[in-house]
């Protein structure tokens, strides 16, 4: 009798599964439903969707223009990130610029979006040259230039006020300073929340202001800067690298610098008087051992290191340390 009940229970269990999960059950399988799907007509996109008032990272092309596009356009990329970069306002005389520790291809979409969301109209934005023209008023326009900085993977942002008729620069340092201070806050907020790159602005990453080449077996740093800014940059680099500067002659473009010697190890290293390291065992030389020369040649400013005793190896190390500290 028990066996008959077992058979009845098994039959009921099988039929219940069919009722619950079978084709005609309460919860039929869905995995093959796609075979019965039909292809509907394509969606016609209204022309008004192409009239963008704000930054659109995934623009929709007009259906009529799709046949003429040989390559699928890539979206402008801005991705969420928890990273942060240094943003500073720097000034040398009347020249002011924003320094950002990130690649120009990352700074470009942020720069463009700043003006796209401002009260001004963007007249032209060229990611290849890094130039954005902004309609300021009937007389003047603003021009932003996004350039690669001296330091590796850095950006410099410049803002100029230009006369629309003559094309001459208009001196208005107070306005430029005020506008750049607003931009600093915008860049700092944007870089703390977003990171990414503009594929169209990749060319800006290659337009570096500092390069190194060999001249008669000696290394030379070539800076795409005028003399005043090159002198200031090298001076800051010497301080940042804690290199002792005994004297300088700006009219001749020469820094007189020296090493210090650690007698316990008998090795030379670059060491500054303001270092937090202990000066015990250090013998600071009073006479300059090296000359750092800055000269202008062929629209470039060249930085060389010359050792008084002809020690090329130490000159190379000194120049390498300066190059690492340039910004």
Instruction: Considering only residues 8 and 200, tell me which one the structure prediction assigns the higher pLDDT.
Output: 200
Mean pLDDT of 23-48: 70
For the purposes of burial, counting CB atoms within 10 Å of the CB of 164, is it exposed (0-12), middle (13-18) or buried (19 or more)? middle
What is d(CA 321, CA 142) in angstroms, rounded to the nearest whole number? Answer: 38
Residues contacting 252, CB < 8 A, separation 6+: none
Pick the CATH number of 210-325 from 2.40.50.140, 3.30.310.170, 3.40.50.2300, 1.10.3720.10: 3.30.310.170
Same CATH fold assignment for domains 81-206 and 210-325: yes
Q: Which helix (H) or strand (E) holds 245?
A: strand 244-249
Longest dimension (CA), the chain: 117
Domain parsing of the chain, residue ranges: 2-36, 81-206, 210-325
Q: Is the pLDDT of residue 266 over 60?
A: no
Cα–Cα–Cα angle for 231, 290, 269, rounded to 5 degrees:
105
Mean pLDDT of 260-286: 39
Q: Is the pLDDT of residue 47 over 80?
A: no
Domain 81-206 belongs to what topology?
TATA-Binding Protein (3.30.310)
Q: Is the pLDDT of residue 267 over 50?
A: no
Q: Is the pLDDT of residue 305 over 70?
A: yes
Question: What pLDDT, on a 0 to 100 scale, did the predictor assign at position 195?
Answer: 65
Q: Is the pLDDT of residue 135 over 90?
A: yes
Question: What pLDDT, on a 0 to 100 scale, did the predictor assign at position 259?
Answer: 59
What pLDDT, in 10s, does the model give residues 4-34? 556 555 555 555 555 555 556 666 777 677 6
Q: Is the dihedral of CA 19, 20, 25, 30 positive or negative?
A: negative
Q: Which residues on neighbouring strands pair with residue 39, listed in sequence order?
A: none
């Amino acid at each position: 009798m028990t066996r008959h009940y077992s058979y009845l229970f098994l039959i009921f269990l099988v039929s219940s599964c069919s009722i619950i999960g079978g084709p005609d059950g309460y919860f039929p399988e869905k995995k093959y439903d796609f075979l019965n799907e039909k292809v509907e007509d394509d969606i016609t996109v209204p022309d008004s969707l192409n009239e963008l008032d704000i930054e659109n990272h995934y623009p929709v092309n007009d259906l009529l223009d799709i046949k003429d596009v040989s390559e699928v356009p890539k979206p402008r990329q801005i991705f969420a990130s928890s990273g942060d970069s240094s943003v500073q306002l720097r000034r040398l005389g009347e020249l002011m610029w924003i320094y950002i520790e990130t690649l120009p291809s990352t700074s470009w979409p942020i720069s463009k979006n700043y003006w796209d969301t401002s009260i001004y109209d963007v007249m032209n934005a060229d990611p290849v040259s890094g130039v954005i023209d902004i309609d300021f008023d009937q007389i003047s326009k603003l021009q932003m230039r996004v350039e690669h900085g001296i330091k590796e993977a850095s950006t410099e942002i410049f803002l100029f006020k230009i006369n629309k008729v003559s094309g001459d620069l208009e001196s208005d340092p107070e306005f430029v300073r005020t506008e750049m201070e607003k931009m600093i806050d915008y860049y700092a907020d944007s870089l703390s929340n977003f990171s990414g790159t503009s594929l169209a602005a990749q060319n800006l990453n290659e337009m570096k202001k500092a390069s190194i080449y060999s001249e008669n077996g000696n290394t030379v740093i070539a800076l795409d800067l005028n003399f005043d800014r090159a002198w200031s940059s090298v001076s800051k680099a010497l301080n940042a690298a804690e290199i002792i500067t005994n004297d300088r002659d700006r009219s001749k473009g020469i820094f007189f610098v020296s090493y210090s010697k650690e007698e316990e190890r008998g090795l030379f290293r670059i060491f500054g008087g303001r270092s937090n390291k202990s000066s015990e065992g250090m013998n600071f030389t009073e006479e300059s051992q090296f000359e750092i020369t800055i000269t202008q040649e062929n629209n470039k400013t060249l930085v060389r290191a010359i050792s008084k005793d002809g020690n090329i190896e130490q000159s190379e190390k000194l120049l390498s340390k300066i190059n690492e500290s340039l910004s």
